[in-house]
Structure formats: C-alpha cells, structure tokens
C-alpha cells in the first residue's frame, strides 16, 4: 500500500462494491444514510442537521476513530475545523491550516482527495491539533476528501481509522467523496450566509483554547516543594469566588498565577482585565479603574469605561495595589463592599459582577501599622492569600526554567542551542537572582544569542554571574578573563564526560595528567564531584 495516494472519483461508480463485505463490515448498510443526507440537503439545506448524520455514520458504521468537517475561509485564506468527533475543544481550536499546508491544505489546494496509508510515516502530516502527541495510532490511515462546488473548494471531510483491508479503505474513500459531493451546495450556502460569523466564532474558540492551555496551573514551570504548595492553593481557590491577594517579590510571576486562577474559575468565560496601579499617576488612576464621562475634566473628549466596567462578568487583576493612595484605597474599598461605583463625572451607579485579584511586592501588614494602607481594605483584600516564593528558594526549578527558556529563545532566534554546560549550570544555581524569574529569562535569552556551538557556556553568561561575589558586577571581560573562563569550562566538561577520571580527561584535552593537575589546582577544581555524574550530558 503506497504511503500517499491522490484520487479522483466518478461518484456513480461504486454502488456495486457496497454489496461486498470485508472484515465483517458491509457498506451496503450505509445506503439508507445516503438517502437521508440527500433528503435533508434538498429539503432544508440545514448544515447542522447534515453534519449530525455524517458524524454519526462516520463514528458507528464506518468505525472511524476521528472525523472532521473543515471549512475554507477564502477571505482570511485559512482552513479550520467546523465540526468533529474524537478531538477535545483545545485540539479542535488548534486545527487551523493554510492552503498547501499539511495534508488538509494540499487537498484544498489541489481539489483532489488524499489517502495516507500510515499516517505517522507521512512527511505532510503536521499534527497541528496535537491529538497524536502520544503516537498511539501509528498504524492508522487518514482520508481527506474535498468539498467542491462549481470548481471551488469549500472545505474537506477528513477521517482516521486503522484498516486491515485495502478494499475497505478504498470503499470508504469513495463513500466520503460521495457525501462531500452531496453536501457541497449546503456548505456553499452556509459559507455565503455565515462566513463572518464562522470566522469570528472560530477565532474566539482558538483564542480561548490557547489561553486555557497557557494559563492552567500545570503549565506554570517548576516542581519544587514551595511551588507545589502554590499549585495546591491555586487549585483550591480557582473554583471559588473569593477575592485573592498574591504576594511576592518583583519578577516571581504574580500575573501568571492570577491568570491561572481566572482561566480555571467560574469566571473563565468572561474577560481578564489587568491594571498596574503603579503605572498611573494618582490623578489618573481613578479614571483608569472606574472610567469617566465625556467632559468630566479637561481632555475627557469621550466617555471611557474603566477596568472594573471592562471586567464585568470576568476577573480584574490589580497589580502593585500597595501603590494606591489613601484616597483611591477608599474608592477601591467601596467597590469591594458594594460591587458598585460611579464614573468620574457620572451620577448613575454601575453594578458589576466580577472577581478581584490583587498583587503586591510590598508588606501590606507593615504599611497598615505605618498608616499608609487602610486596615479595612487590607482585610477585604486578604480573604485568600497566596505567597509566591522567590527563585532563590526554589532549588532545581532554576534549571527547569532555564531549560524552558533555552528551548523558547532558541526557536525564536533560529538557533540550535541544545543544552547548558555544567559550569554554567553551577553558576545559575549559585546566583541569588534578585530579579527572580524575569531576570533568569533575560539572562538565558542573552546567552542563547551569544552561544556559537549549540551549548550555553559559563562565558556566555553576564558579568554579574561571572564574579565570585553574588551581587558584584564588572563592565566587561578582559582577554585574560575570557581565556580563564574558557579553560575552566573545558576542564570541567572533560572531567564530566569521563566520570572524574583525570587521566582520561587529560587525554581528551591533549594534556599530560600532570599538566591537567596543575591547571585543576589553579582553578580549584576537584575530580571528586564528577565521579557521580554520568559520562554524557
């Protein structure tokens, strides 16, 4: 059986074949279904009713494992999944192609059916939906037939299953091609009447799916014990409607935690509106949060909806809430108590239904003692508190995060950076990370750009990590500094590659054992830590 076959059909030449049965499956049984499809398409032109019949017959008599009807939006030049079975909503949202892209794109581009005998052996198979990440159906075949009317491709019908008989596969290809031809007029009418609606619904579905994947707690990087406690708090509070206060140093990822809470909460279908209270001067923050009416002050040329109004039905995230003045704290307290507010210059109270999440790197309890933060507001905000640990307290999460950022920025910069060397890892682990995850991300992005051999070395890291004092910095490297760093790096790598065996490491470096010993002594390197490491990184 060929890997890929492109086929054209006369839709009237296959009825005779349906009288034969293969592997206990008789395609003659689907002839009444074809009659139903023809009846619905001529009587009501209801695409939803047709798809219900088609997907049912694909799942039951045809025993397909997955099935998709995809539509082609000529305006945006995209092909997307309109209806399917065997896919989750997230997988469905990812199934977007351009003409010529992947198997589906090639069917739309050529207007001809494509049959792939073994899906995972085909180079055109992109797995854009990520439904095959586990490679669980390596022997499955894939059928994709075009929906064509007046020589215009409107979309495709695609299906997947394991076949033991080539003849049964050919029968199903012809059957799906017949169904596609029968429903083409209805699909054409549907696209004409609903294309804008279809495009907007598909984009909305795709964005929501992407956001849920991005912000679910399991996708926050790190497995250290302190972060496990954070995950548990997110899990417990996400399903509730309580106000949440997130505490932590700058750069630890407070916004990411707030997003994870929102997208796993009862408000997930609503908007997620973010506002940084430190980003606006005191005289503008009220307008930012609560909005203003036209003409309420100089420059108010139009009515403006504030963040609270924009977040109605969803979640508002107020970052750096400790920076609010006492006057604005009083206004925030009123919203927390009553869930109502007025725009600046407005007279009509506006009621909102939303969840409030706040965050700060300040010590609010101490500010209450000092009189710079309202005590009543503090207790209103501190219903459920999550404290995010600084990176220096997260142990091996530093390495996990570093590897994650290496993968991301290598892809973004088109570089083949595969790993971080042992000396560089030691430097990352020994640094105190005052800027937390944000600083680590910037360090790795810079190192990826500097790397020249697919490995991030210690000398690719910034000067603040190169010095023996954690917080010390220098303006740059001298030639001697660079040579010393390279020599240290090469010795450490050779010892690691050879399990701490000095003689073999010396041979790899082209040195005598005595010469290597002298240089190890100069760099204060002992062979003992490398005895427990594996020969290969």
Reported pTM: 0.54
Three-state DSSP state, 513? helix
pLDDT of 319 reads: 94
Q: In sequence order, what are the beta bridge partners of 385?
A: 245
Residue 494 CA to its chain's centroid (Å): 38
SS3 labels along 20-70:
CEECCEEHHHHHHHHHHHHHHHHHCCCHHHHHHHHHHHHHCCCCCCEEEEE
Q: Are residues 266 and 138 both part of a single domain?
A: no
Q: Are residues 195 and 149 both part of a single domain?
A: yes
Q: Are residues 437 and 455 both part of a single domain?
A: yes
Q: Are residues 170 and 26 both part of a single domain?
A: yes
Contacts of 527 (CB under 8 A, 6+ apart): 495, 500, 501, 502, 505, 520
pLDDT of 472 reads: 35
State the CATH number of the domain containing residue 83.
3.30.450.40
Is there a domain that residue 261 lies in?
yes
Is there a domain that residue 523 lies in?
yes
SS3 labels along 147-213:
EEECCEEEEEEEEEECCCCHHHHHHHHHHHHHHHHHHHHHHHHHHHHHHHHHHHHHHHHHHHHHHHH
Q: Could you tell me the residue range of the domain that residue 325 belongs to?
A: 219-389
Contact by Cβ (8 Å): 180, 67 = no
Contact by Cβ (8 Å): 506, 513 = yes
Q: Are residues 43 and 26 both part of a single domain?
A: yes
pLDDT of 5 reads: 58
Query: For the packed helices 422-430 and 479-497, what is the interaxial angle rounded to 10 degrees?
Result: 110
What are the tens digits of pLDDT across the range 444-460?
A: 999 999 998 888 988 88
Is there a domain that residue 314 lies in?
yes
Closest CA to 70 of 182, 172, 145: 145
Contact by Cβ (8 Å): 488, 423 = yes
Is there a domain that residue 535 lies in?
no
Q: Are residues 151 and 17 both part of a single domain?
A: yes
Q: Are residues 404 and 313 both part of a single domain?
A: no
User: How far from each other are the two terminal CA atoms of the chain, in whole angstroms?
Assistant: 42
CA distance 278 to 274: 12
Is there a domain that residue 537 lies in?
no
Closest CA to 430 of 438, 442, 422, 441: 422
CA atoms within 13 A on the CB side of 267: 27
Q: Are residues 40 and 183 both part of a single domain?
A: yes
Contacts of 391 (CB under 8 A, 6+ apart): 251, 252, 397, 398, 401, 433, 436, 437, 439, 440
Work out whether the CA dihedral 466, 468, 471, 472 comes out positive or negative. Answer: negative
- How many independent structural domains does the chain possess? 3
Using a CB cutoff of 8 Å and minimum separation of 24, what contacts does 464-468 make?
464/431, 465/427, 465/428, 465/431, 466/427
pLDDT of 315 reads: 94
Q: Are residues 186 and 56 both part of a single domain?
A: yes
Identify the burial level of 213 via C-beta atoms within 10 angstroms of its C-beta, where 0-12 means exposed, 13-18 middle and 19 or more buried.
Answer: middle
What are the tens digits of pLDDT across the range 393-441?
A: 998 889 889 999 999 899 988 888 888 888 888 889 888 999 999 999 9
CA distance 146 to 177: 7
Cα dihedral value 398, 400, 406, 412, nearest 10: -110
Is there a domain that residue 536 lies in?
no
Closest CA to 71 of 154, 130, 149: 154
CA atoms within 13 A on the CB side of 446: 13
Q: Are residues 19 and 160 both part of a single domain?
A: yes
Q: In sequence order, what are the beta bridge partners of 22?
A: 25
Contact by Cβ (8 Å): 329, 376 = no
Is there a domain that residue 195 lies in?
yes
């504030």: which residue's tokens? 306
Q: In sequence order, what are the beta bridge partners of 99?
A: none
Mark which of 341, 368, 389 sits at the end of a domain: 389
Is there a domain that residue 126 lies in?
yes
**Phi-psi category of 414—alpha, beta or left, where left has phi over 0 and alpha has psi -120 to 50?**
left
Contacts of 445 (CB under 8 A, 6+ apart): 405, 409
Q: Are residues 457 and 383 both part of a single domain?
A: no
Identify the burial level of 467 via C-beta atoms within 10 angstroms of its C-beta, where 0-12 means exposed, 13-18 middle and 19 or more buried.
Answer: exposed
Q: Are residues 314 and 433 both part of a single domain?
A: no
Mark which of 184, 209, 234 sits at the end of a domain: 209
State the CATH number of the domain containing residue 229.
3.40.50.300
Mark which of 389, 420, 439 sits at the end of a domain: 389
What parts of the chain have a pLDDT lower than 50? 1-2, 9-19, 135-137, 468-476, 532-537
């Amino acid at each position: 059986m060929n890997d890929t076959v492109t086929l054209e059909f006369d839709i009237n030449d296959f009825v005779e074949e349906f009288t034969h049965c293969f592997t206990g499956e008789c395609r003659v049984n689907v002839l009444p279904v074809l009659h139903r499809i023809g009846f619905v398409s001529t009587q009501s032109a209801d695409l939803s009713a047709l798809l219900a019949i088609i997907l049912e017959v694909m799942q039951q008599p045809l025993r397909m494992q997955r099935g998709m009807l995809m539509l082609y939006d000529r305006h945006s030049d995209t092909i997307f999944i309109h209806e399917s079975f065997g896919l989750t909503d997230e997988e469905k949202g990812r199934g977007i192609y351009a003409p010529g892209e992947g198997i589906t794109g090639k069917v739309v581009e050529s207007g001809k059916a494509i049959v792939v005998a073994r899906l995972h052996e085909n180079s055109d198979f992109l797995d854009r939906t990520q439904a095959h990440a586990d490679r669980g159906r390596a022997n499955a075949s894939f059928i994709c037939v075009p929906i064509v009317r007046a020589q215009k491709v409107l979309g495709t019908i695609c299906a997947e299953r394991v076949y033991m008989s080539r003849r049964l596969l050919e029968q199903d290809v012809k059957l799906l091609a017949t169904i596609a031809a029968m429903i083409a007029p209805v699909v054409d009418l549907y696209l004409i009447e609903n294309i804008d609606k279809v495009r907007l619904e598909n984009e909305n579905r795709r964005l929501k799916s992407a956001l849920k994947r991005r912000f679910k707690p399991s996708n926050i990087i790190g497995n250290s014990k302190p972060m496990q406690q954070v995950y548990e708090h997110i899990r417990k509070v996400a399903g509730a409607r309580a106000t949440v206060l997130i505490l932590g140093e700058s750069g630890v990822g407070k916004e990411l935690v707030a997003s994870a809470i929102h997208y796993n909460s009862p408000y997930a279908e609503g908007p997620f509106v973010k506002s940084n209270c430190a980003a606006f001067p005191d005289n503008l923050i009220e307008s930012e949060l609560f909005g203003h009416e036209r003409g309420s002050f100089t420059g108010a040329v139009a009515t403006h909806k504030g963040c609270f109004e924009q977040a109605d039905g969803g979640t508002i995230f107020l970052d750096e809430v400790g920076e609010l003045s006492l006057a604005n704290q009083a206004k925030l307290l009123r919203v927390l108590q009553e869930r109502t507010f007025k725009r600046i210059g407005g007279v009509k109270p506006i009621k909102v239904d939303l969840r409030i999440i706040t965050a700060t790197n300040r010590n609010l309890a101490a500010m209450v003692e000092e009189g710079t933060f309202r005590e009543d507001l503090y207790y209103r905000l501190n219903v459920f508190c999550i404290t995010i640990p600084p990176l220096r307290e997260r142990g091996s999460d530093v390495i996990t995060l570093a590897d994650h950022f290496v993968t991301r920025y290598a892809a973004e910069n088109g570089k083949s950076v595969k790993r971080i060397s042992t000396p560089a890892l030691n430097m990352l682990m020994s640094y105190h990370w005052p800027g937390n995850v944000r600083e680590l991300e910037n360090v790795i992005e810079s190192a990826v750009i500097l790397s020249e051999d697919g490995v991030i070395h210690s000398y690719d890291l910034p000067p603040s990590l190169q010095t023996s004092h954690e917080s010390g910095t220098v303006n740059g490297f001298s030639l001697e500094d660079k040579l010393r760093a390279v020599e240290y790096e090469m010795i450490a790598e050779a010892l690691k590659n050879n399990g701490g065996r000095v003689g073999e490491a010396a041979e790899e470096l082209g040195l005598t054992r005595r010469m290597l010993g002298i240089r190890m002594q100069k760099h204060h390197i002992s062979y003992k830590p490398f005895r427990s490491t594996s020969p290969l990184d």
